[in-house]
Amino acid sequence: MEETPKRVTRRRVRTRARLLDAAFEVFAAKGFGRVSIEEICEAAGFSRGAFYSNFATLDELFFALYRERADLIASQVADALAQEGPDLDVPASVDRVTEVLLLDVDWLLVKTDFLVHAARDPAVARALLDHRARLREAIADRLLRARGHTELPVVLGGVDGAAHAVVAAYDGVTTQLLLDRDIEAARGWLRQLLTALLTGGGRTPVSTDTAQL
């Protein structure tokens, strides 16, 4: 009797994962707003009932997909930065981050669709802002834990400002990547840009004072 709920849970997890994988493929190929629930169900090999047992709407599925990839990126950044120990060698950390960071054109197409969708829906925009904040917090936390060893450009205004700058650099480089599809060039440019941002002239030691942005 106790094993039945476990089997159901595992099946539901697999169903949800397959729906998300299928949705990613369909959204990347056609774009959000041009995709129906039926198309996602067909790609996943499930019925509409399977869809509605996991998601109430396409928006909910879309956000779950975004959250899954955003969490992966935040984890990649945090893991790469955590390898430094108590101190932070900025150039070495930037090298690690840019080597492991997810730069996938299909994901960028889906993310861009979601950004445009969120810009027209305040509730979705708030949720998107919350998840972007998580990525910045992972970066800011690591810079803060450098314990005064690492110096940042004064103009950034502290670790929160530096985290905002890092995410803005990522956004800019990935926009270019959407157009030229040159992943290696994107990694190289991101490495140069982040190194320049975080090691520029006129620096001040990292402190607990954070920018209010």
Higher pLDDT: 49 or 206? It is 49
Q: Determine the Cα–Cα distance for residues 177 and 186; give it in Å rounded to an integer.
A: 6
Locate 56 and state its tokens: 């109430």
Residue 54 has pLDDT above 70, yes or no: yes
pLDDT in tens, 177-186: 999 999 999 9
pLDDT in tens, 71-83: 777 777 767 766 6
Q: Determine the Cα–Cα distance for residues 110 and 54; give it in Å rounded to an integer.
A: 20
For every residue of 92-140, DSSP letters joined together read: HHHHHHHHHS---HHHHHHHHHHHHHHHT-HHHHHHHHHHHHHHHHHHH
Give the pLDDT band of residue 9 (cuts 50, 70, 90): confident
pLDDT of residue 38: 94
pLDDT in tens, 98-147: 887 778 889 888 888 888 888 998 988 888 888 788 778 877 877 776 54
Locate 36 and state its tokens: 């129906």
Mean pLDDT over all residues of the chain? 79
Instruction: Check: CB of residue 93 under 8 Å from CB of residue 80.
Output: yes
pLDDT of residue 7: 52
CA dihedral 29, 31, 35, 41 (to 10 degrees): 50
Q: Determine the Cα–Cα distance for residues 127 and 121; give it in Å rounded to an integer.
A: 10
- Report pTM: 0.69
